Amino acid sequence: MKYARVMVMSMAASLAAGAADAGKWTLAWSEEFNGEGLVDGAVWNYERGFIRNREAQYYTAGRAQNVAMRGGNLVITARKEDFSENGQDAKYTSGSINTKGKKAFHYGRIEVRAKLPVGQGNWPAIWMMGVEGGWPRGGEIDIMEHVWASKNTVHATVHWSDKAKAAANNNNGHTSKGSKIEDQKPYEDFHVYAVEWDADKMAFFMDDAPYFTFTISDAGEGADNPFRKPHYLLLNLAIGGSWGGAIDDAIFPCEYLIDYVRHYVPAGGGIIAPGAKVEKLADGFKFTEGPIADKDGNVYFTDQPNDKILIWTVDGKLSALGSFGRANGMYFDRDGRLLTCSDMDNELWSVGMDGTKTVLVADYNGKKLNGPNDVWVNPKDGSVYFTDPFYKRPYWTRDPAMQQAGEYVFLLKSDRKTLLPVDTEMKQPNGIIGTPDGKTLYVADIGGNKTYAYDIQPDGLLSNRRLFCAMGSDGMTIDTEGNVYLTGKGVTVFNAKGEQIEHIPIEAGWTANVCFGGKDRKTLFITASQYLYALRMRVPGAM
């Protein structure tokens, strides 16, 4: 590896050194490692085996001899021992844990307070990898690396794939930039290692000393830049390998201590409420869909296979509205009636709170619709937009062949009579949502794995079709800051520029839809497989 110039600084290590400035940052999440025994499986995964860089250690999983909480710290211990597992023999064992698929980080300050191990051959690290894209295309952020060959030096590096370099050399285009900082003996006490990361730059710190700044645009512009996307965290102690070098067997057992991991967002920033976690509210359904909140914040959602519309009230009680044609996506209109994409009969219905129903759309040009899937009502004029993909259902009594010429996005004008296709070019339109000012519409083409944005014209027609992001979605919602929430594998959030800013993992296999509800509209309700989940947010949903 090549690194930029060395910055030599004398630093006094203390418990408070390097902690986030309370006036600048708000704590959003932390792992304090205050328990005893194995780490929390809801947050951490174990790596297992010989993983990378020709390292000598075998990473074990769920083995307290290598990874355990003890005395208020996470203790990763490397050992010299004969160990065999899965047909592989090792002379050294150690531990590596990560948050892949369970906790992702995107912007803010990520800091880890740790005490480095002592001895030739150890290679402790605090680093992050891109949630998607593989290496190096997905990006790598090394917050701290330390090897005994340069025992007074701590390194920070970023890695990515340069497209031009990859094309010219017919390889993965691996590119890196980094720097290092020197301390007399960084392994003798705890230090805080941190990165402060936003859309423009990353700044790396050891305690209060900044020593490397990386400009995000150096890794490219647009959607391919991995450092504008979420990363997951890794904590590991490697032995030997391509950088750890020769191993002194006298150092074992060798301990790497981590006091805490903390993620801060700018004061007043970040979309998830500080300390909030996804909560399972209810289960036992067959497949939940279509959540939408009424004016009081009560959330209506469907158990589609059981043909039920259910209500989660603001005081946390579950009740039922009734059965309405195997409803899928839903939305309240300006009169407080619930519009339902009633899939049993391939129609769009209007449902009153007394259970009365009115069929708004039964066909187009005298032919059955494919199956209305998701719906949004423009709050400015009451016009209705809905998607009509084709999903062949075993419960249909109609001709199962697709009756329409394609899979369209429709506009039902405010007169509730005029029905027009407004996009006929999608493979399989699904999720749909608009901005509260009635000026912009977002539609997900789940078949094409893309989401598009449109300008809504005064007559309701759409113009300026443009790619919003390279991701499809089942259901969608939007918050008051213009962030758009897509679903599928968890909930993925994009800002108004189409840049991914957050990913919320959900345990269920498929996340179908989302909405904001509760009295203050600051709770994100998530329908996923047989469950209903909730997550407190800092930013409220748009109405």
- Per annotation, catalytic residue among 55, 111, 140, 289: 140
> Is 140 an annotated catalytic residue?
yes
Q: Which of 510, 504, 384, 376 is nearest to 444 (CA)?
A: 376
Alpha carbons 331 and 461: distance in angstroms, whole number:
20
Contact between 345 and 357 (Cβ < 8 Å): no
Q: What is the dihedral of CA 204, 206, 211, 212, to 10 degrees?
A: -20
> Is 145 an annotated catalytic residue?
yes
Sheet containing 279-282: order of strands = 279-282, 531-536, 523-528, 511-517
Contact between 491 and 514 (Cβ < 8 Å): yes
Compute CA 171 distance to the chain's CA centroid, rounded to the nearest angstrom. Answer: 29
Contact between 6 and 248 (Cβ < 8 Å): no
Alpha carbons 89 and 58: distance in angstroms, whole number:
8
Using left for φ > 0, alpha for ψ between -120 and 50, and beta otherwise, residue 322 falls in: left
- To 5 degrees, how large is the angle CA 216–CA 217–CA 219? 80
- Per annotation, catalytic residue among 145, 196, 255, 502: 145
Contact between 440 and 456 (Cβ < 8 Å): yes
Establish whether the linkage from the previous residue to 253 is cis, with ω within 30° of 0.
yes
The strand ranges marked E within 226-383 are 231-239, 254-266, 279-282, 288-293, 299-303, 308-312, 318-322, 327-332, 338-342, 347-351, 357-361, 363-364, 367-368, 375-377
- Please, which residues have CB within 8 angstroms of residue 67's CB and are 6 or more apart in sequence? 38, 39, 46, 60, 74, 75, 76, 77, 95, 97
- At 221 the three-state DSSP class reads coil
Contact between 96 and 120 (Cβ < 8 Å): no
Kindly give the pairing relationship between strand 419-423 and strand 73-85: unpaired
Helices (H), 384-459: none
Catalytic residues: 140, 145
